[in-house]
Amino acid sequence: MPFDALRELAEAGLDLEVISDEQRAIVAGLSQEEVAMLISIQKQLLESDPEVEAHIIGGLLF
Amino acid sequence: MHLADILALRPVPAAGLLMALTRRCPLTCAHCSTNSLLTSEEHPAEWFARFARTIEREDRPEVIMLTGGEPMLRPRLVADIAATAPTMVLTGGFFAPRVPAALAGVAHVSVSLDVHHQREVPQAKVFRLVHALAGRGTAVSFHVTGAGPDDPYLARTIDTVRREFADRVPMLVGRVRAAGRAQAWAPAEERAPADGHRPCTMAAWPAVSPDGTVTACCNQDVIDHRPVPGHLRLGHVATDDWRSVRTRCLTSPVLQAIRTGGPQWAAGRSDGGYCGTCRTLGTTAERPRPAAAFLEQQVVRAQVGAGPEGFIRRYGEARFAELVMLGRETHAV
């Protein structure tokens, strides 16, 4: 079956209802790698692995 | 403006502005990430005030967060900036329990609470300050810092705060990082995701350094070291206006890529570490695709969907993430 970015994203739970027809054409042109990246980020955010970095200003996490 | 409402905006590009008004501080905490002293660098207040005056209502940040050093060493500047947009102040509370007049127009005051600050500003004075602010209707929170999730200081302090304020004051719990004076003793950590795809939320809000340079990232190395890598430099408060800085933040292809898939994804390689790879990126991303805006939009939506607690689970002490919601249901936004 040929790669279908829209189908892959919809199956992963991304809300594609909100995008315009113009955007839909852009999304349809996403590469397999870009689609995998989006899905991977969605999963990571749901899993919420702790992520430690020196992201600090004035001692705050902002 | 409740802490949770501020954190909910953190992944949204240019929804907030961070400003370190001075590197000076009257305290000498051993863990100070900015290595602040009373003699540290400080630049003309007018630079920062001028920049704040360029903020116009239609595209103003939803929150300006003032830090330092100790921002309350410049009370007039704090008051001037608070007049331009909803403002949060992070302070060590050296003036506690007295409430400075400059805080009258500030939307949120967050006070540092950790073993090092407490050596210089007693907890009882800090609590009196926070009670006084809350009594005046100012939103308040604590930024509690410990050595890690199992640090007994954290458990003890969190319990004390919850009892003292009857669960009405939220807490943002973090960990001492190996930066500034803590570099000499705190463990350095960098845990990058295995697959290298991790959006950088820290590239969402422009950050003003104590020298007036505006950067796209608040990483302490970026704040402290010059020159700033070209793709992370958004301007200078003495010469640029908020609209230009905001536009650069929102439209830079490389920043969009960093916010979307992280710097390693933007670079197409993962050999230099997360922030290390970012510092080596050029001003043009390797992935300026027409779909960039859509990709970024989706990633921002996912982060906003994870909420304030999701943000803390990623960047703070995950075990204490729910404490950012304390008092949220009773607080008028």
Per CB-CB distance under 8 Å, the chain A contacts of B20 are: 57-58
- Start-to-end CA span in chain B (Å): 5
Per CB-CB distance under 8 Å, the chain A contacts of B33 are: 56-59
- Start-to-end CA span in chain A (Å): 45
**A21 lies within 8 A of chain B by CB:** no
A44 with B198: Cβ contact below 8 A: yes
Q: For residue B210, what are its two tokens? A: 């104590």
pTM as predicted: 0.90
pLDDT for residue B292: 81
pLDDT for residue B172: 94
B310 with A50: Cβ contact below 8 A: no
Nearest CB to A61; choose among B172, B198, B303: B172
What does the alpha-carbon distance between residue B142 and residue B59 come to, in Å, rounded to a whole number?
A: 29
**A16 lies within 8 A of chain B by CB:** no
- Read off the pLDDT band of B287 (50, 70, 90): low
Beta bridge partners of B175: B146
Q: How is chain A split into domains, by residue range? A: 5-61
Average pLDDT for B186-199:
62
pLDDT for residue B92: 94
**Which candidate, B102, B49, B48, places its Cα nearest to that of B73?**
B102
Range of weakest confidence among B52-56, B308-312, B326-330: B326-330
B23 to chain A: closest CA residue:
A58
Q: Do residues B21 and B211 lie in contact, with contact meaning Cβ atoms separated by under 8 Å?
A: no
For the cut 60, the answer to whether the pLDDT of residue A11 exceeds it is yes
Nearest CB to A54; choose among B221, B299, B316: B221
Q: What is the mean pLDDT of chain B?
A: 89
Q: For residue B269, what are its two tokens? A: 């390689």
Range of weakest confidence among A39-48, B6-15, B27-36: A39-48
For residue A4, the distance in angstroms to the closest alpha carbon of chain B comes to: 15
For residue A2, the distance in angstroms to the closest alpha carbon of chain B comes to: 20
B290 with A27: Cβ contact below 8 A: no
The per-residue pLDDT for range B26-79, each reduced to its tens digit, is 888 777 877 888 889 999 999 999 999 999 999 999 999 999 899 999 999 999
For the cut 70, the answer to whether the pLDDT of residue B198 exceeds it is yes
Q: Parallel, antiparallel, or unpaired for β B213-215 and B207-208?
A: antiparallel
**A26 lies within 8 A of chain B by CB:** yes
Q: How is chain B split into domains, by residue range? A: 3-330
- B177, B221, B264, B311, best to mutate vs chain A, most A CBs in 10 Å: B177
A62 with B223: Cβ contact below 8 A: no
**Which candidate, B182, B185, B144, B183, places its Cα nearest to that of B319?**
B144
For the cut 80, the answer to whether the pLDDT of residue A61 exceeds it is no
Q: Look up the ipTM and state it.
A: 0.70
For the cut 50, the answer to whether the pLDDT of residue A52 exceeds it is no
- Read off the pLDDT band of A54 (50, 70, 90): very low
What letter does residue B316 receive in the DSSP assignment?
S
Q: Which of the four CATH numbers 1.10.10, 3.20.20, 2.40.160, 1.10.238 does domain B3-330 have?
A: 3.20.20
What does the alpha-carbon distance between residue B222 and residue B281 come to, in Å, rounded to a whole number?
A: 13
The per-residue pLDDT for range B200-239, each reduced to its tens digit, is 999 999 999 999 999 999 888 888 889 999 999 999 999 9
For B160-207, the DSSP string reads HHHHHTTT-S-EEEEE--SSGGGGGTSPP-----TTS----GGGSS-E
- B144, B211, B220, B269, best to mutate vs chain A, most A CBs in 10 Å: B220
What does the alpha-carbon distance between residue B188 and residue B178 come to, in Å, rounded to a whole number?
A: 5
pLDDT for residue B46: 98
- Read off the pLDDT band of B333 (50, 70, 90): very low
Q: Which residue has the higher pLDDT, B183 or A59?
A: B183
Nearest CB to A45; choose among B32, B69, B303: B303
Exposed e or buried b per residue across B259-273, where buried means at least 16 C-beta atoms within 10 angstroms of its C-beta: bbbbbbbbbeebebe
